[in-house]
Amino acid sequence: MAGAGLTPPGICRDCGAVLAAAPSCPNCRSSRIVRHPQILELGIAHIDCDAFYASVEKRDRPELAARPVVVGGGSRGVVTAACYVARMYGIRSAMPMFKALKACPDLVVIKPDFAKYVAASRQIRALMAELTPLVQPLSIDEAVLDLRGTTELHQAPPAAMLARLARRVEAEIGVTISVGLARNRLMSKIAAGRDKPRGFCVIGDEAAAILAPESVRRLPGIGPALEKRLAALGIATLGQLQTLSEAEARRLLGEDGPSLCERARGIDHRAVDPRRETKSISAETTFEQDRATQAELEARLWPLCEKLARRLREAGFATQGVVLKLKTAHFASRTRQQRLPTPSVLPDRLFDAARALLQKEVDGTMFRLIGIGAAGLVPLDQADPPDLADPGTAQKVAAQQAIDQLRARFGPGAIGKGRGLPRSA
């Protein structure tokens, strides 16, 4: 660690050289230097591709490099991804396309090509795997790496290898990434989002001080419902969470309270586990009013199955099973799991399995949340194979593809199934 008043060590972002006090790199003359007192000690990295879908499209159409580009549906659709030029106009993911076009009439709208995005994602993962076997993909455009203990192997600290990785991804694959480097997964993720695009942010011992003034929503895992609960306790910032003792946290917030306060201080004990690849593909919703009946819960479950199916396809996976998640009005969680006969991304198959699980839980209990998740991910090309026991599989796949194409062109409300229609009171 650098002493008081000394220039901290740095890494050249263009060649990966380790630097002392020089303002520019003596090897390549670059002035893109990232410095931090602990930059040579830290080894957990979060990699986040910058505006991934839009970046892949710009790579393949260089004439669009300086143009505002979004990936998404037609004039009645929504924005799936927006490049950074488009974001200067206030355009964001999930924005209705008509609003995006109103904000920027010159906007270039491109239909999604998920096969192309999956291919680029796999190329990036292959480069990551050259640095360490401890690579845990989190989505199609994010992964966390554990580079601790690799310095001798690469004859360079993790920070240097990450700088070289960023340059290789840009040169060989044609997209850019942002890097977060820290002591643990939580802080590396937060670091990766602080300096986008083409960012390289390092967070060390100052983690708690960085988090303290932030809203509690800044912490992954704190959603609107928990934010409201914390607000009722007079807790609005992570700094206020940091001050709670373990006993106070448990008394006020239940069994999860102490771990929540640890995360508020920047402490995270999760390991990087390649076997838990994209474990968290799921969808859930919290009700404005508690629900108890099968019909009420099924009405909320179906759109979640459609959302889960879409997220699986976007990430390049199919699921071997479903996980039903319920949370009671008293915050007690119930989790039930069902394996599918074959891997699938069909919303109907996900719904049928989840509905069977739900029927066993409807017993008069009031529920405040319902969710569905994937269990056992396999590559997308294994989804919904021909099945002698279900000769209609090919027709179901074709029908779903037709629905997806119509929604991509005309928007998510263009077509749907009867069970997705609003029910009369």
Contact 183, 39 (CB under 8 A): no
**How much is the pLDDT for 390?**
61
The first and second tokens of residue 294, run together, are 């099968």
In the CATH scheme, what architecture does the domain 278-387 have?
A: 2-Layer Sandwich (3.30)
Which residues 6+ apart lie within 8 Å of 299 measured at CB?
423
Name the fold adopted by 8-205.
Alpha-Beta Plaits (3.30.70)
Contact 51, 35 (CB under 8 A): no
Q: What distance in Å separates the CA atoms of residue 356 and residue 343, rounded to the nearest whole number? A: 17
Q: What is the per-residue pLDDT across 74-101, written as a single tens digit (0 to 9) for each? A: 655 778 899 999 999 999 987 888 899 9
Q: What distance in Å separates the CA atoms of residue 50 and residue 47, rounded to the nearest whole number? A: 10
Domain boundaries, the chain: 8-205, 209-264, 278-387
Which one, of 297, 412, 416, lies nearest residue 364 by Cα? Answer: 297
**How much is the pLDDT for 1?**
42
Q: What distance in Å separates the CA atoms of residue 236 and residue 312, rounded to the nearest whole number? A: 34
**How much is the pLDDT for 2?**
47
Which residues 6+ apart lie within 8 Å of 115 measured at CB?
none
**How much is the pLDDT for 325?**
94
Residue type, 64: L
Assess whether the region 209-264 and the region 278-387 belong to the same CATH fold: no
The first and second tokens of residue 117, run together, are 């995005």
Catalytic (active-site) positions? 142
Task: Name the one residue in this structure whose structure tokens are 């989190």.
Answer: 138
**How much is the pLDDT for 78?**
75
Residues of the chain with pLDDT under 70: 1-5, 74-76, 276-280, 386-395, 400-425
**How much is the pLDDT for 75?**
55
Cis preceding-peptide flag for 68 (omega within 30 of 0) = no
The dotted CATH code for 209-264 is: 1.10.150.20
